[in-house]
């Protein structure tokens, strides 16, 4: 039976990364597109409950029908899975994000949290992000990442994923023929170099900007960061139980007053 | 040496839950307050990079000096830890949230993601949330949750926490004397009952609201949800490596084309 695939992203419905992803997913099934009408980068896992959401119809550059909402990426997934479309989806794919989502980025990333929203709703999902060096302004070559997205999605459609698991796929900034292959990895470490800039506005009042250099990665072998640095596409299965199991027994020995 | 404690929340600087938390933390050290100037519930883990942030001085009801920013809870933590204040903090405490943060709530929750931001920056942190039954409009009794926050913070100051670990503390909606004690738990399961409402605006155009009943919990013993349902305060250590280690070996056996 034809697979029903929902495509969303976090850079907005007109991003060329979305178009590439749509075209690759159309090789695997029927594609429905619902994405934010603007860029939501760094927006986190949002559940918009206190306001209504609008949905508008769009056409992508290749003429594909698409829908855009004024909600976050995770809101787009919620709208689609709660019945905005009549389709029942088999897979949710989010991306292709302009910029990698590695290490702790996954908790901030609209691309990844859109996939989380699908996982929470019980659907397999894949987040796809392309590494972009600081300062690169394009044009972007999405051919390797489109290919990676298709291989990952095809695998998920063939094998399924455990409940509440999603795949976080990151592609190094290389030509397709330079990429060495895929690696299944664990989440690595980013080092954030944020710095607070205090500036003074024209009325003499301070304002603050979270600036500083782009995060760097700790290229440990076996991690998402390490694999990208070695020229491999990284595929990290993520899950949503954040319990620190290693800390449970120690924290249990602390003195917790028996009665409040 | 006197401990430096940063207090933030997700309901906004004027929330009575923040005031209770501040007063309890003042028993443990010097308290600095930087919280959002409005409610950010369901706002996720936000990193505001594309606009400047403002900070205004406030007074809480008891006269305590406080600061409010127009950023998200995680932005408040970033501002504070990146040097808005001269203090070097020993602990970040977030809350007391109006409403529990259980199960997958932790990925959406401003209260929890504020604590995550501290953990990523290398500081121990505690998120504190009070269960509130659907439809309850107050007044709120924060005495049990204030007590729970203090016990948890005291323990963290005494014992420390592993790197990148935070505590997620939830308090049942009970009088202090009815609470049975503390339980160290794992993250449980929420069942979301979201439903999409389509409505028509005065100009005849549709809009959409993510509605439906409040989430319910699966009260499994040993979990946050289960402990609250049995009348215990739940303390869940959380960590930020989302790798699905159980899925790694299986996903590795899938066919990943050797060359892109």
From chain A, the residues in CB contact with B257 under 8 A are 151, 181-182
Residue A91 · residue A3 · CB < 8 Å: yes
Question: How far is residue A160's CA from residue A180's CA, in Å, rounded to a whole number?
Answer: 25
Which two tokens mark B233? Answer: 């305060």
Q: Give strand pairing partners of A183.
A: A234
- pLDDT value at residue B259: 43
- pLDDT value at residue A11: 94
Strand residues in chain B grouped as ranges (E): 3-8, 29-36, 55-59, 65-69, 91-98, 125-130, 165-171, 181-184, 189-200, 206-218, 232-239
Which two tokens mark B34? Answer: 């930087």
What topology is assigned to B3-189+217-252 in CATH?
A: Stationary-phase Survival Protein Sure Homolog; Chain: A, (3.40.1210)
Question: How far is residue B157's CA from residue B160's CA, in Å, rounded to a whole number?
Answer: 6
Q: Which residues of B15-42 are buried (b: 16+ CB within 10 A; e: fewer)?
A: bbbbbbbbbbbeebbebbbbbbbebbbb
Residue B4 · residue B89 · CB < 8 Å: yes
- pLDDT value at residue A260: 43
Domain ranges of chain A: 3-189+217-252
- pLDDT value at residue B50: 81
Q: Per residue in B203-241, pLDDT tens?
A: 999 999 998 888 888 999 999 999 999 999 999 999 999
Report residue B245: phi and psi, to 5°.
Answer: -65, -30
- Cβ of residue B44 closer than 8 Å to a chain A Cβ: yes
Average pLDDT of chain A is 93
Across the interface, do A248 and B54 touch by the CB < 8 Å criterion? Answer: no
Once rounded to an integer, what is the mean pLDDT over residues B177-189?
Answer: 96
Question: How far is residue A67's CA from residue A14's CA, in Å, rounded to a whole number?
Answer: 11
- pLDDT value at residue A40: 85
Q: In which residue are the tokens 């600095």 written?
A: B32
The pLDDT > 90 percentage for chain B reads 85
Question: How far is residue A224's CA from residue A214's CA, in Å, rounded to a whole number?
Answer: 17
Q: What confidence category does residue B47 fall into, taking pLDDT thresholds of 50, 70 and 90?
A: confident
Q: What confidence category does residue B44 fall into, taking pLDDT thresholds of 50, 70 and 90?
A: confident
Total-model pTM: 0.94
- pLDDT value at residue B138: 76
Residue B194 · residue A71 · CB < 8 Å: no
- pLDDT value at residue B45: 80
Question: How far is residue A162's CA from residue A225's CA, in Å, rounded to a whole number?
Answer: 24
- For the question of an ipTM over 0.90, the answer is yes
Contacts with A20 (C-beta within 8 Å, 6 or more apart), sequence order: A96, A142, A143, A145, A146, A149
- B153, closest residue in chain A (CA to CA): A256
- A223, closest residue in chain B (CA to CA): B243
Query: 177-216 in A: which are within 8 Å (CB) of B?
Result: 177, 179-182, 184, 186-187, 192, 194-196, 199, 206-211
Query: 74-133 in B: which are within 8 Å (CB) of A?
Result: 74-75, 78-79, 82-84, 104, 106-108, 113, 116, 120-121
- pLDDT value at residue B231: 97
**Residue B223: DSSP 8-state:** B
Question: How far is residue B41's CA from residue A152's CA, in Å, rounded to a whole number?
Answer: 34
DSSP string computed for chain A: -PEEEEEE-SS-TT-HHHHHHHHHHTTTEEEEEEEESS--TT--S----SS-B-EEEEE-TT--EEEEESS-HHHHHHHIIIIISSPPPSEEEEEEEES---TTHHHH-HHHHHHHHHHHTT--EEEEEE---TT-------HHHHHHHHHHHHHHHHH---TTEEEEEEE-SS-GGG--EEEE-B--EEEEEEEEEEEE-TTS-EEEEEEEEEEEEE--TTBHHHHHHTTEEEEEEEES--B-HHHHHHHHHS---S--
**Per-block mean pLDDT, blocks of 10 residues, chain A (260 long):** 96 95 97 95 79 93 96 95 96 96 93 96 97 86 96 97 96 95 96 92 93 89 96 97 96 78
Tell me which residue of A185, A253, A258, A242 sits closest to A217, measured CA to CA.
A185
- pLDDT value at residue A137: 80
Q: What confidence category does residue B90 fall into, taking pLDDT thresholds of 50, 70 and 90?
A: very high
End-to-end CA distance of chain B: 57
Lowest mean pLDDT among A54-63, A194-203, B45-54, B173-182: B45-54
- pLDDT value at residue B260: 43
Across the interface, do B208 and A239 touch by the CB < 8 Å criterion? Answer: no
């Amino acid at each position: 039976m034809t697979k029903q695939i929902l495509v969303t992203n976090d850079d907005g419905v007109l991003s060329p990364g979305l178009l590439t992803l749509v075209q690759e997913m159309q090789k695997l099934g029927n594609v429905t597109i619902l994405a934010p009408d603007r860029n939501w980068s760094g927006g986190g896992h949002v559940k918009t409950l206190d306001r209504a959401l609008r949905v508008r119809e769009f056409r992508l550059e290749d003429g594909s029908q698409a829908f855009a909402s004024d909600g976050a990426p995770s809101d787009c997934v919620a709208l689609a899975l709660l019945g905005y479309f009549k389709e029942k989806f088999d897979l949710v794919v989010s991306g292709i994000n302009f910029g990698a989502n590695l290490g702790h980025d996954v908790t901030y990333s609209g691309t990844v949290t859109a996939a989380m929203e699908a996982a929470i709703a019980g659907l397999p999902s894949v987040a796809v992000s392309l590494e972009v060096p600081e300062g690169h302004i394009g044009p972007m070559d999405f051919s390797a990442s489109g290919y990676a997205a298709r291989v990952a999605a095809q695998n998920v459609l063939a094998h399924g994923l455990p409940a509440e698991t999603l795949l976080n796929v990151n592609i190094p900034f290389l030509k397709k023929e330079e990429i060495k292959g895929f690696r299944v990895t664990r989440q690595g470490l980013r080092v954030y170099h944020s710095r607070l800039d205090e500036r003074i506005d024209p009325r003499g009042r301070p304002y603050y900007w979270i600036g500083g250099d782009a995060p760097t990665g700790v290229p440990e072998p076996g991690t998402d960061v390490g694999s990208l640095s070695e020229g491999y596409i990284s595929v990290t299965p993520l899950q949503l139980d954040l319990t620190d199991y290693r800390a449970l027994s120690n924290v249990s020995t602390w003195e917790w007053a028996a009665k409040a």
